[in-house]
Amino acid sequence: MKITLCLLTRNELPCLKIIFPQIPAPGPDAGYDEIVAIDGGSTDGTLDYFKEKGIQVLGQSKRGRGEAFLIAFEKIQADAYLFFSPDGNEAISDFPKFKKAINEGNDLVIASRMMKGSFNEEDIHWFKPRKWANNVFNLLANLFFRKTGPYVTDSINGYRAITTKAAKILKLSASDYTIEYQMTMRAMKHQLRIYEFPTIEGQRVAGETGAQSIPTGIRFIKRFISELQGKD
Ligand SMILES: Nc1nc2c(ncn2[C@@H]2O[C@H](COP(=O)(O)OP(=O)(O)OP(=O)(O)O)[C@@H](O)[C@H]2O)c(=O)[nH]1
Ligand SMILES: [Mg+2]
């Protein structure tokens, strides 16, 4: 099983400088076999950084996080993809957990920020609008699309792995931040094996978010409706 670690970046240099050196070299214990970056048009030196480190980069002709997923599926030869955002949110120590779950026959593996034993970046505050909104999206996905398997607690989290076989079945199309939500809803529809484990979400270590809450939330509502209608 060849697992490719896909680094997703758009203007992430300050974070990348902190996070990249913490990534173990590929190998049997690292949890992945190959590393490729998919970049959405960085202009801040992210590309030079990858070049300096000898990391292969796939560019995007269209902006968008979903677009990066679609390019990975199209251009990278692997048996599974592990998507990783090097901004400090995602725990590198989880890599082997993804590998284990993929090797055990799961189609989609999600690091959950909502399960018992997990931590969400908003858990440091009492007011958690993003977490609450995400839980509404979780509930909708489970109510309308889940036919088998356990309740999916973090249907939108980006920190996830999917097999190539599953990605082919799902024929994903979202080019924006709703790609993961579309992936989870479709995996439910197709009754694929979804596995979650608890993760500790860290704080973004530098830079700024590219996903503004309100417009992104509206896109999620639209995505849910289009999945309900069975659109491409
Ligand atoms: N390849 C690619 N990556 C992108 C694109 N847009 C955003 N990203 C990356 O996707 C990851 C997640 O984006 P963020 O802006 O951190 O969104 P978020 O994690 O919801 O927000 P934070 O709480 O600020 O971390 C980051 O690593 C971004 O660099 C894009 O168009 N293409
Ligand atoms: Mg982030």
CATH number reported for the structural domain that contains residue 48 in this entry? 3.90.550.10
Judge contact between 138 and 153, C-beta under 8 A. yes
Range 124-142 average pLDDT: 95
Q: Which ligand is nearest to the CA of 210?
A: 1
Looking at the CA of residue 38, tell me the nearest atom of ligand 1: 1
**pTM, whole model, 2 decimals?**
0.97
Confidence class of residue 121 from pLDDT cuts 50, 70 and 90? very high
Work out the percent of the chain whose per-residue pLDDT is above 90. Answer: 97
- The sheet that has 194-198: what strands, in order across it? 56-59, 34-39, 3-9, 80-84, 160-163, 108-112, 194-198
pLDDT at 212 > cutoff 90: no
Give ion ligand 2 contacts, CB < 5 A. Answer: 87, 89
Range 183-212 average pLDDT: 96
Range 74-100 average pLDDT: 98
CA separation for the pair 78, 193 (Å, rounded): 19
Identify the residue whose tokens are 């997923």: 69
- Say how many Å lie between the CA of residue 58 and the centre of ligand 1: 16
Identify the residue whose tokens are 């677009």: 67
What single letter denotes the amino acid at residue 52? E
Q: Residue 199's closest CA among 108, 110, 122?
A: 110
Cα distances (Å, whole numbers) of residue 150 to 35, 143, 153, 196, 221: 31, 12, 9, 9, 23
CA separation for the pair 59, 201 (Å, rounded): 27
Mutate which of 47, 65, 175 for ligand 1? The one with the most ligand atoms within 8 Å of its CB, which is 65
pLDDT at 209 > cutoff 90: no
Looking at the CA of residue 39, tell me the nearest atom of ligand 1: 1
Give bridge partners of residue 8 from the DSSP assignment: 38
CA separation for the pair 187, 221 (Å, rounded): 18
- Say how many Å lie between the CA of residue 158 and the centre of ligand 1: 9
Question: Residue 171 sits in which domain range?
Answer: 3-228
Q: Please give the torsion angle defined by the CA atoms of residues 134, 139, 144 and 150, in that order, rounded to the nearest 10 degrees.
A: 110
DSSP letter for 115, please.
S
Please give the tally of structural domains in the chain: 1
